[in-house]
Amino acid sequence: MAKVQITELAIRDAHQSLHATRMTTADMLPICDKLDKVGYKYIEGWGGATYDSCIRFLNEDPWDRLRKLHAALPNNKIMMLLRAQNLLGYKHYADDVVEKFVATAAKNGIGCFRIFDACNDPRNMECA
């Protein structure tokens, strides 16, 4: 029988949907020890509006958040929601920017990229 694997979204999507992505890194870290022991396939903790919110509203470094989450979740792969060619912004970026961003995110702790395009255009997902 196939094993069911679960992805946890609480530290990215829950507060994005409920609290306009205003949960601080300090708010997230205390629960990470418990999340890390559950046995999730992935824990989605970065991407979507989190990057923008860290900078614009929380006065946090989003890369520092990623590194702290990665350290706090040693038994899990962190997944991120990536807006294809838009990365985490609101416009298209050149292929070299996308490639460098993805490589840097992986180096800093992302173990899985969940990629989507708001226009459902697969061409925008090819480089990402």
Q: Encode pLDDT of 87-126 as tens digits.
A: 988 888 999 999 999 999 999 999 999 999 888 888 888 8
- pLDDT of res. 107: 98
Average pLDDT over residues 72-95: 93
Q: Looking at the predicted structure, is the pLDDT value of residue 31 above 80?
A: yes
Confidence (pLDDT) at 126: 86
Between 40-44, 65-69, 89-93, the lowest mean confidence (pLDDT) is in 89-93
Predicted pLDDT of residue 90: 85
Q: Is the pLDDT of residue 17 over 80?
A: no
Q: Is the domain 7-125 a CATH 3.20.20.70 member?
A: yes
For residue 13, the model assigns a pLDDT of 75
Q: Please name which of 56, 48, 43 lies closest in space to residue 87, comparing C-alpha atoms.
A: 48
Q: What is the pLDDT of residue 79?
A: 97
Pairing of strands 7-8, 42-47: parallel
Q: Hey, where are the domains in the chain?
A: 7-125
For every residue of the chain, which 3-state class applies, written as one string? CCCCCCEECHHHHHHHHHHCCCCCHHHHHHHHHHHHHHCCCEEEEEECCHHHHHHHCCCCCHHHHHHHHHHHCCCCEEEEEECHHHCCCCCCCCHHHHHHHHHHHHHCCEEEEEECCCCCCHHHHCCC
pLDDT at 39 over 90: yes
What's the CA gap between 15 and 9, in Å, rounded? 10
